[in-house]
Structure 1
Amino acid sequence: MAERKLLSAAQLTSPSYRLPALDQDFLLSDDMRGVRFQLEYAKAEHYLRAWGVRSTIVAFGSARVREDGPGRQAFWYSEARAFGALASERGGAKTHNSGIRDNVIATGGGPGLMEAANRGAADVGAPSIGFNITLPHEQEPNPYSTPALTFRFHYFAMRKMHLAMRANALVVFPGGFGTLDEMFEILNLRQTGKSPAIPIVLFDENYWRSIINFDALLDHGMIDQFDQKLFDFADSAESVWERLVVGGLTAHHS
């Protein structure tokens, strides 16, 4: 018997003999990229359903803005925080009616204006979601998203899918490349009819008009009048909420 075990040692220690679900080398191989996509979808879906999250309000914004930052940064941070609080109070995130929560604040999970929106939800005792992304220079999740609803993705595409698929509304605070990328992703889905008609509000009209010449896009025929109606502007947390409601957001009061 001892001789037989000795002879089979090579088989028992071979990578091919490992259970697939426990074989990290196999799971991280090129062949399993599709499975990793599926896992990133399924894991977040599992926890969101367990918490009864039926719909979200997505808040995009710069990771570079600080609470005590220069210029308008402090104002942007305080208004993003205020919006996270009032949307959570008025939208239904705190309501656990038959196991369902609506209009839960969802962000990219990082610092800056994402942190501010998550923090506002935490201020009023509401859950909020952080969809973090793995980056070459590691970015930790902010401390205000609900721990059980704080996720980490490798694939931007799957992260964007989770940000979009439950969204009842989108609020875009000032930001740079990442914020622009995420904003135009949703605007493109709306323009092409690939997503439901949801209200989209850009916070601080002066900022957005200073970095994007929307009228020039119209003048050059790259968008039409209808496309300009896909989004609105607001300059305070309260007016953001008002624009969302006018745009069709249904509130579920606590």
Structure 2
Amino acid sequence: MSEEILNEDDARIKEKLEQKSWNEIKSNDSWAIFKIMSEFVNGYEKMGRIGPCVSIFGSARTKTDDPFYKLAEEVAFKISKAGYGVITGGGPGIMEAGNKGAHLGGGISVGLNIELPFEQHFNPYIDHDKNVQFDYFFVRKVMFVKYSQGFVVMPGGFGTLDELFEAITLIQTKKIGKFPIILVGTDFWSGLIDWVKNVLLEKYKNVSPDDMNLIKIVDTADEVVEVLDTFYKKYNLKPNF
């Protein structure tokens, strides 16, 4: 990590620890509320016109020649052909693969992008009127959850895990409907799921056995579509597109 980044991090830490006057708090924090509100309004208006889609999560660092990039593209393609729209984080890697597959499949291709100092930029496979920009992670996550009719989770890092456990927690606590959560890649996810079963469930009883039923692990695009279709047939629902 460069000295410049270290100095920037140090400055941000010091800024947070400094005692601020009430006037500074009012001028900075209070006015930030309006920017947050504007992001919610913009997101609701755009996504309300688009309607619910299937969210595809995964790493921004995945290269185009990676097997998981190819698999994410195939998953999105087949999801689109089955009538579902696709939402991704709008950036490179797995997100790009998801939007590319949806684009090639003739389906809805939505990108919810976030302003970051590295890795993140819009990919070229998002529909021109379905490109939504955010500064705040929590606003973006609300849009993902509110307008998702299923979650497909490809291999990724901390951000992907954050999105995965956010979806699980909201379903577990009944804050949203019990939409499918599909993990793609048995080899990648089996260690995490074993830890959840052996440590969280069996050893410490921090989750319930029923919570494990919220997750499906698959390895192919056809299995992803099958899980989604089975869910919608069970409730006599149809894809939106």
TM normalised by structure 2 equals 0.81
Provide closer, same or farther for how the CA distance between residues 224 and 54 of structure 1 changes in structure 2, counting only shifts above 3 A: same
Which residues in structure 2 correspond to 1:65-76 (within 5 Å)? 65-68=62-65, 74-76=66-68
Instruction: State which of 76, 92, 111 in structure 2 corresponds to 1:84.
Output: 76
Shift of 1:127: 2.5
* Structure 1 residue runs without a partner (length 5+): 1-27, 69-73, 92-102
Corresponding position of 1:137: 118
1:106 partner SS? strand
Q: Distance in 2 between matches of 1:252 and 1:211?
A: 31
Name the % identity: 34
Corresponding position of 2:196: 214
Shift of 1:138: 6.4
Which residues in structure 2 correspond to 1:1-254 (within 5 Å)? 29-49=28-48, 52-68=49-65, 74-91=66-83, 103-137=84-118, 139-212=120-193, 213-216=195-198, 217-220=200-203, 221-248=205-232, 250-252=237-239
TM normalised by structure 1 equals 0.77
Corresponding position of 1:23: none
Q: Distance in 1 between matches of 2:74 and 2:161?
A: 22
1:161 partner SS? helix
1:248 partner SS? helix
1:83-112 superposed Cα distances (whole Å, 9 cap, x missing partner): 111111212xxxxxxxxxxx3200111111
> Contact (CA 8 Å) 2:82, 2:225: kept in 1 or not?
no
Shift of 1:29: 4.1
1:115-169 superposed Cα distances (whole Å, 9 cap, x missing partner): 1010001112223111111112362111111121111111110000000001110
1:202 partner SS? strand
1:192-216 superposed Cα distances (whole Å, 9 cap, x missing partner): 1111110110001221112441222
- RMSD over aligned Cα atoms: 1.8
Q: Distance in 2 between matches of 1:123 and 1:106?
A: 14
Q: Distance in 1 between matches of 2:227 and 2:36?
A: 35
> Contact (CA 8 Å) 2:87, 2:112: kept in 1 or not?
yes
Q: Distance in 1 between matches of 2:67 and 2:154?
A: 11
Shift of 1:184: 0.3
1:215 partner SS? helix
Q: Distance in 2 between matches of 1:47 and 1:104?
A: 14
Q: Distance in 2 between matches of 1:90 and 1:239?
A: 12
Larger mean CA deviation between 57-66 and 239-248 belongs to: 239-248
Structure 1 or 2, whichever has the larger Rg, is 1
Runs of 4+ in 1 over 4 A off after TM superposition: none
Aligned length: 209
- The code of the aligned residue for 2:63 comes to R
> Contact (CA 8 Å) 1:56, 1:169: kept in 2 or not?
yes
